[in-house]
Structure 1
Amino acid sequence: MAFKDPIKTCVLGVGLAGLTFYVPFILALPELLTLHAVLERNPQTPGGRIKDRLGVDTTIYRTIEEVVNDKEIELVVVGTPNDTHYPLAKAVLESGKHVLVDKPVTETVAQANELDAIAKAKGLVLYGYQNRRWDSDHLALKSLLALPPSSPQYIGNLLEFESHYDRYRPGIRASWKDGVGAVYDLGSHLLDQALNLFGRPAKITAFVQNICGVTKPDVDDSFMIYLHYNAGTPFPNKFTVLLRSHILSVKAPQLRYAVCGTKGVFTKYGLDTQEEQLKVMPFVSGIFEPGYGQEPQVIYGTVENLGEDGVSIAKSIWPSRAPGQYIELFRNLAGAIRNNEEMGVKWAETTQVIEMIELAYRSSAEGRTLEVLAL
């Protein structure tokens, strides 16, 4: 796929998100996208942070007004602090431009629904940046869960599923990113992956905590969120999903997945490598190098299956053969804008993530399990 006129794109924010998760992929797909401008309110050097980090010259705007008034811009990427996502995305949509907005897409479901209404009224693409669907470990897990019963590594009907983003960070910073809370930050990823795999739960139970006590007392740094699924199609057994992020987890590598089925167990440690690679990558061409997004074998998952005798346990490796590929999100986004392709991340799905976050906070505050309304 290539366009005669690549989509002129502006990135709002050139911090970690902008320079790690957005700009490199825009530059890596010149046949689809072109970096027209960035928003940097107070550049410290003539070329700004994008020139310093990636050696790229582009227009630098200092205000959102300059961005929305630039008629050449077709797509705007909102990679700014969480509390600015809604007002900036709204301003951009109202100016007639497509939007890719970082997770969490908004702070409330009401805000997400309002943005959706504007986008639909104007015929615009509104896309949530749920890039972790293209993590190598998540792709490996999806391929395992898709195995037929005839496979020797088939783990059976699901009973319990754990997904972790644990860390050991006793000196957590009181920055804007930490200040929004772990549920909005890391929970957005874990919830999106779980909902993408299993759909909408019947109930939710959450325990949201501030363990370190470094940030404001009401800002969470750790959580456990339980999603409860009833028995029935496509799940023959009741099963529970645990999504956890603990700030004081002393373990290396950290647990990523623990999945229990009626015929086996899958265990996975370690994280997708893309973020760490992108942070230090000197040239965007590195995205296409053979080792990009590829996990080291030492953190491949393991499967333990019940033997044919019903007693013995067979242990095997489940490799993460498919490398992580955040670039596929950008290819899909470009196709949705130019060719009306189906969006890989639908806005209703990202809105559902915000709904689960709101329910998680409420469950924790009220100390009880909450029903999730069926759609």
Structure 2
Amino acid sequence: MMEPIKTGLLAYGMSGRIFHAPFLNAHDGFELSAIVERSKSDAINDYPNVAHIRNYEDLLADESIELVVVNTPNFTHYQYAKEALNAGKHVLIEKPVAVLRKEAEELFALAYRKNLKVLAYQNRRFDSDFLSVKEILESGKLGKIVEAHFRFDRYRNEISYKLFKEEAVPGSGVLYDLGAHIIDQAISLFGAPSDFEKVYSCNRTGSVVDDYANLHLKYKSGPNVYVTTNMLVADEPPAYSIYGTRGTFTKHRTDIQETQLLAGMLPTDTIYGIENENCEGRLVYMTEVGEKKIEEIPAGKGNYMMLFDEVYNTIRRDTEYFVKQSDILSQLELLEK
């Protein structure tokens, strides 16, 4: 029988409302105990039985809360997580864990001294499209991987109303936003690169932050991996293109979870995480006898609830978390400007 982890949520914007609260509320291993909303009162309507708090200091002062979800703007992650750890709470931190590698190192060291957990919320490792890529790589059908491309694109020519993403503050720009996801995915598959090159640009009228970024991750005895994110792509190419000595796999960004959650679907719904029809990945490979094979590969179910399974097991059972500290430090080294 599970012993629920009493959890507090530091914000109730899109991230809190869509990616955290529904899962914490539905998972038997958690008790959503408190939500911080500084001005609005949306959480009261959605979760009337959960404490509604106006400032994070009151949440940290609640001794019953064991886990704090830090889902505030990027530049605040380090300070809020540090204060939560000093208050004796575990922390689950939205990507990126911090803006700088040295900040993450400090958080890990502080958590170690206090016997607490610092956990990264890298939910895109449980996207259906990425899970398809992982499955194909593990099958060996592509042979030795020579080249890989990861993309996370959108078309948003206007400046976002979310000013913390658009102002020239630490952790802003598309690389820290969308790029953090695909950098993490690349590291999870291929490890930390031995070297890298990085290019930024700012293209939207009135923008003061990067809205395009490309990284070339270099591996001494492995593939060349290219990570690209662009806010001005009206016709999106495949999100994943993997080239090996025996074949190629391409897959568009077809995970449906965010769309379903925004529409109000609960993660416990039977069709949650199941891709729409005609979203298969394309596998082209050569058999042992030199015959060319083409297969349309349907994706398995995406499921962000698996991340919360990992959080529960790490806190309650002291299992190793699926995102290693070394992964986070490597990610931040690539993100830092």
Work out the CA distance in 1 between the residues paired with 2:133 and 2:48: 37
Indicate the residue corresponding to 1:303 in structure 2. 283
Matched, 1:177 2:165: yes
CA offsets per residue over residues 327-362 of structure 1, 9 Å max, x none?
11111111111111221222332222111112xx3x
Task: Say whether the 8 Å CA contact 1:50–1:57 is kept in structure 2.
Answer: no
Shift of 1:288: 2.4
Shift of 1:172: 3.4
Indicate the residue corresponding to 2:15 in structure 1. 17
Indicate the residue corresponding to 2:253 in structure 1. 270
The farther-off stretch of 118-127 and 265-274 is 265-274
Indicate the residue corresponding to 2:153 in structure 1. 166
One-letter identity of the residue aligned with 2:132? A
Task: Say whether the 8 Å CA contact 1:257–1:268 is kept in structure 2.
Answer: yes
Task: Say whether the 8 Å CA contact 1:166–1:255 is kept in structure 2.
Answer: no
Work out the CA distance in 2 between the residues paired with 1:86 and 1:271: 32
Query: 1:215-294 alignment to 2 at 5 Å?
Result: 215-216=207-208, 219-231=209-221, 235=222, 239-251=223-235, 254-281=237-264, 286-294=266-274
Task: Say whether the 8 Å CA contact 2:70–2:94 is kept in structure 1.
Answer: yes
Work out the CA distance in 1 between the residues paired with 2:128 and 2:328: 21
Work out the CA distance in 1 between the residues paired with 2:323 and 2:288: 41
2:316 to 338, 348, 353: 338
Indicate the residue corresponding to 2:108 in structure 1. 116
Task: Say whether the 8 Å CA contact 2:192–2:327 is kept in structure 1.
Answer: no
Indicate the residue corresponding to 1:189 in structure 2. 181
Work out the CA distance in 2 between the residues paired with 1:355 and 1:337: 27
Indicate the residue corresponding to 1:127 in structure 2. 119
Shift of 1:308: 5.9
Matched, 1:41 2:38: yes
Aligned residues: 332
Work out the CA distance in 2 between the residues paired with 1:133 and 1:308: 31
Task: Say whether the 8 Å CA contact 1:173–1:214 is kept in structure 2.
Answer: no
Shift of 1:242: 0.6
CA offsets per residue over residues 79-126 of structure 1, 9 Å max, x none?
111111111100000010110010011111111111111100000011
* Structure 2: segments with no counterpart, 5+ residues: none
Matched, 1:319 2:302: no
1:307/1:35 Cα in 2 relative to 1: closer, same or farther (>3 Å)? Answer: closer
- The secondary structure found in structure 1 opposite 2:315 is helix
Work out the CA distance in 2 between the residues paired with 1:270 and 1:58: 35
The farther-off stretch of 92-101 and 165-174 is 165-174
One-letter identity of the residue aligned with 2:239? R
Task: Say whether the 8 Å CA contact 1:273–1:294 is kept in structure 2.
Answer: yes
1:229/1:262 Cα in 2 relative to 1: closer, same or farther (>3 Å)? Answer: same
Task: Say whether the 8 Å CA contact 1:35–1:58 is kept in structure 2.
Answer: yes
Task: Say whether the 8 Å CA contact 2:4–2:31 is kept in structure 1.
Answer: yes
Work out the CA distance in 1 between the residues paired with 2:264 and 2:229: 27
Say what the alpha-carbon RMSD is for the aligned residues.
Answer: 1.6
Work out the CA distance in 1 between the residues paired with 2:146 and 2:326: 27
| Larger CA Rg, structure 1 vs 2 | 1
Runs of 4+ in 1 over 2 A off after TM superposition: 54-57, 306-310
CA offsets per residue over residues 142-173 of structure 1, 9 Å max, x none?
1100114xxxxx11111110011112221232
Task: Say whether the 8 Å CA contact 1:101–1:128 is kept in structure 2.
Answer: yes
CA offsets per residue over residues 247-280 of structure 1, 9 Å max, x none?
221215x421111111111111133111111112
Indicate the residue corresponding to 2:77 in structure 1. 85
The farther-off stretch of 122-131 and 338-347 is 338-347
One-letter identity of the residue aligned with 1:172? I
Shift of 1:229: 1.1
CA offsets per residue over residues 15-72 of structure 1, 9 Å max, x none?
010011110100011x2110110111113xxxx21233x3443111112221111111
Alignment identity in percent? Answer: 35
Query: TM (normalized to structure 2)?
Result: 0.94
- The secondary structure found in structure 1 opposite 2:139 is coil
